[in-house]
Amino acid sequence: MKKIVNILSLTLAAVLIMTGCQMDEPELDGLIQSTSLNYEITQNPEDPNMVILESLTPGVIPMWVTPMGRSTKVKDTVRLPFSGSYQFVYNVSGAGGFVAGDTTTLEITTMNLSYVDDPLWNTLTGGVGESKTWLLDLNADGVSKYWLGPMYFSGDVWRWGNTCSEEGDKCWIWEADWASNGWIAAANDYGTMTFSLEGGAFITVDHQNSPGRGAESGTFFLDADAKILSMTDAAPLMNDWADGANIADWSKGYLISLTEDAMQIGYKDKGKEEFIIFNYISKDYSDNWVPEDTPDPEPPYDGDANDDLTTNTSTSKTWAVDLAYPYNWHDLAGTALNEVATYGTDPEGFAFTTWAPPYDADVFGGVSMSLTKDDDAGGSYVITTATDTYEGTYTVNENNEIDFGQSISFFAGVGGWLNFGTTDANTLRIIMAEETAGAVTGIWLGQKAADKPEYLSIHLKATGGGGGSDPGEALKSVLVSNPWKIDSNRSYDVETSWGAEQGPMIFSDFASWAWNPLPGEHYASGEADVDYGSMTFNEDGTVTIVQRKRIYTYEEGGETLVRDGLPADGDVLATDEEVTLNGIWALDLDNNKLRISVPMLHPWTCDYAVREWGELTIYKAEDGVLILKVLRDAELSGEDEFLMAYVFVPGE
């Protein structure tokens, strides 16, 4: 039943279906001679396309090389749907090492296409005698035509139909959109991947952007029941960094989804209990894809531009660059493209989390823009920069674009390359506005890029000119209008381009992200179902804080210690009392500060983490809501220094 040829290499050519028991683990004896190898390779007489492999050599691990992959099973079955000449190699591994065995050649003259008569096989390949080409869903223009991006990420229990093989912490998926996560893959042409059933189950991959790979040809098998796609001598199309660094074994992929137009295959990350899921589209879908005719997204600003630029009652207003947060880039929807790490007023200086942008306080501080309203749609301006002065008239259109009528450079060459000015059409656009006590006190002016969908935007603060009323008086009116309480019930909830303003507190850079933990989810938000008291500002400049103090203790090493943060199981509530604190308050409008001589009302679980509870930055003050920022101290909290924002709403 066997033919000894002593040839180790072979050409893979067909479909393999492996069945039988798991790999046996015999005890390995001494060195085996090749003449002692014993095995059988037989064809099923009722189905000649079914080939049965059986290792009869005792004390070894068989290492079969078959037309569609490798196997270490003692007994295995290979099903070959097509006629042809096929070779099988029998090698073994014993205590003395690897022993090369024989090559057996079988001439199969029949066909059994029932092995590949499955809808998934047809969808993957186009059917028997056909081939189908697939692409990674990202092109050189940075466009994903079907999926949100070329790769998703999931726990390694994610399976077919977006279900999990088991419940628990690993049952998750992150559908990464490429527009916001360009790091997952560079915008490139990644080549083609063709599955063929023309005379066999062949795969051909033309890797265009994967280091160390080029054109690869091999064979594949799709286990339609288990939804597992196996490849031999070829790897699928991939991004430019996962090969080797994250994925070591490309031979086994988990089919997550497969349609005529799109496919997802998950591969195990070698260092994590995670899958990297590669998203593909058929070449036919790509060639016939037509982008949706959707308008560009709009920035969030929707006010009366001319009124906000000049105010309503007096007809002029002066703006200056905010030295703490002078500029950023925004997408067309007004979302900041860089997260702020530190501000220009911080000791570390102005910086984003991923890079250090150029900063020049003298240049930024030399910019002043004064606007005077002449009619509903325009007025006059005087713009002073560190090097020039511009005067003229402006108009504002329905898109909140300001046409200055001439080219204006606000600054140039900061850091050697950063420039900001009007577009070629002499315009800038209002991206966002900021209000304090009902008056617009800050705006972002954006210069739309000519070559990409984004704005470079400068952040301006109002420094002079009218307002509906004196800003200080307007702010005072809000503060003294009612007692304030922490918004633990989240009655205030406003969506923004960067997240949400929600009680009771906000972790955010107020440009690109926000996290709003509820009571009980983080120590800064306090305990659930606890009323921490009230805060009342009086007309005479006094303030009264009714503060609930809840102190928990626990035993450790024979000592009774005070718990910092949220209570843990077994803690004892040692103190639960209300204390009344009387102090004074004052506004510092130049620095946007509210200073009080006693600690601000706060969740007691966060008391330990802040050094100056009376040094407050005003984020928002208007009818119905007061949002104040307080600095978390790095030394006291054991965490990074961070401005935490607390949301207050009217109390009784």
pLDDT tens for 177-186 read 998 899 999 9
Query: Which of 620, 337, 321, 623 has the alpha carbon at shortest distance from 443?
Result: 321
In this predicted structure, the answer to whether residue 590 has a pLDDT above a threshold of 90 is no
Q: What pLDDT score does 642 carry?
A: 93
Q: What pLDDT score does 465 carry?
A: 54
In this predicted structure, the answer to whether residue 6 has a pLDDT above a threshold of 60 is no
Beta-carbon contacts of residue 305 (< 8 Å; ≥ 6 apart) = 396, 400, 402, 430
Q: What pLDDT score does 221 carry?
A: 86
> Which region among 18-27, 63-72, 614-623 has the lowest average model confidence (pLDDT)?
18-27
477: number of CA atoms within 13 Å, CB side?
Answer: 12
Q: What pLDDT score does 223 carry?
A: 85
Q: What pLDDT score does 232 carry?
A: 86
Q: What pLDDT score does 373 carry?
A: 87
Q: Counting every residue, how long is the chain?
A: 652
In this predicted structure, the answer to whether residue 533 has a pLDDT above a threshold of 80 is yes
What is the chain's mean pLDDT, rounded? Answer: 89
What number of other Cβ atoms are within 10 A of residue 378's Cβ? 18
- Write the pLDDT tens digit of every residue in 243-276: 988 999 999 999 999 999 999 999 999 999 999 9
- Write the pLDDT tens digit of every residue in 105-163: 999 999 888 888 889 999 999 998 899 999 999 999 999 999 999 999 999 999 999 99
In this predicted structure, the answer to whether residue 27 has a pLDDT above a threshold of 50 is no
What number of other Cβ atoms are within 10 A of residue 424's Cβ? 8
Beta-carbon contacts of residue 613 (< 8 Å; ≥ 6 apart) = 599, 600, 602, 630
Q: What pLDDT score does 346 carry?
A: 87
Kindly state the average pLDDT of the residues 563-590.
93
Number of H helices, E strands in the chain: 6, 45
d(CA 191, CA 651): 63
Are 450 and 317 in contact by the 8 Å Cβ rule? The answer is no
Q: What percent of the chain has pLDDT over 70?
A: 93
In this predicted structure, the answer to whether residue 336 has a pLDDT above a threshold of 60 is yes
Q: What pLDDT score does 464 carry?
A: 60
In this predicted structure, the answer to whether residue 71 has a pLDDT above a threshold of 90 is no
334: number of CA atoms within 13 Å, CB side?
Answer: 19
Are 634 and 640 in contact by the 8 Å Cβ rule? The answer is yes
Are 579 and 598 in contact by the 8 Å Cβ rule? The answer is no
Which amino acid type is present at position 132?
K
Q: What pLDDT score does 55 carry?
A: 94
Comparison of pLDDT for 5 and 140, the residue scoring more: 140
Kindly state the average pLDDT of the residues 615-622.
90
Two tokens at 341? 């790490």
Kindly state the average pLDDT of the residues 380-399.
95
- Write the pLDDT tens digit of every residue in 418-475: 999 999 999 999 999 987 766 788 899 999 998 888 999 999 998 865 444 567 788 8
Kindly state the average pLDDT of the residues 480-501.
92
Kindly state the average pLDDT of the residues 525-551.
96
Q: What secondary structure letter does DSSP report for 199? A: S
Q: What pLDDT score does 153 carry?
A: 97
Q: What percent of the chain has pLDDT over 90?
A: 68
